[in-house]
Structure 1
Amino acid sequence: MAKRWSDEDIKNLKNLAQHYSAQAIAEKMDRPVGGVAFKAHQLGVPLKPRSRLTRPAAKDLHRTGDRQGAT
């Protein structure tokens, strides 16, 4: 059975949505990504887009200043 959204959960979702994607929020809140995205949509809360770079690629970008391995 799905966990209900408490007032505290909604407050956390709104705060996290300012900085994180639905996937990251789902991991932090221990909820499914679809549940986070749906609740944000219901509340009219915009979510940050998921990064297109993988973590290793993002580290390379930060370190070298270009996209290594990009085609």
Structure 2
Amino acid sequence: MPNRLWTHSEIDKLKSLAGTIPTAQIASEIGRPTSGVIMKAFELKLSLKLKPNQARSPANDPGPAGMDLTI
């Protein structure tokens, strides 16, 4: 089976979803195999690594309870 060329809308969707949801879910939404999504992300130099949730960011961590961390 010959490879199907990527459309602009598929590439745009990959760029917008990369790092926000798992790769398998991106593949399902785009209608491509997971391996194809990984290869296209590599070609576009996109990271598929999930970004940490902002709510769990160290900057939002209040620190240990009862300790004054001000300088």
Q: Report the TM-score, using the length of structure 2 for normalisation.
A: 0.61
Cα distance in 2 between the residues matched to 1:47 and 1:31: 15
Q: Report the aligned-residue RMSD.
A: 1.3
Measured at CA, do residues 36 and 22 of structure 1 come closer, stay the same or move farther in structure 2, by a change above 3 Å?
A: same
Cα distance in 2 between the residues matched to 1:25 and 1:34: 11
Cα distance in 2 between the residues matched to 1:47 and 1:18: 5
Aligned length: 49
Matched residue, 1:63? none
Cα distance in 2 between the residues matched to 1:36 and 1:11: 12
Matched, 1:38 2:42: no
Matched residue, 2:30? 29
Cα distance in 2 between the residues matched to 1:21 and 1:44: 17
Amino acid at match of 1:18: G
Cα distance in 2 between the residues matched to 1:13 and 1:26: 9
Larger radius of gyration: 2
Q: Report the TM-score, using the length of structure 1 for normalisation.
A: 0.61
Matched residue, 1:4? 5
Amino acid at match of 2:23: A
For the residue of structure 2 that corresponds to 1:12, the secondary structure is helix
Amino acid at match of 1:37: I
- CA drift at 1:45: 0.3
Q: Which runs of 4+ in 1 moved over 3 A?
A: none
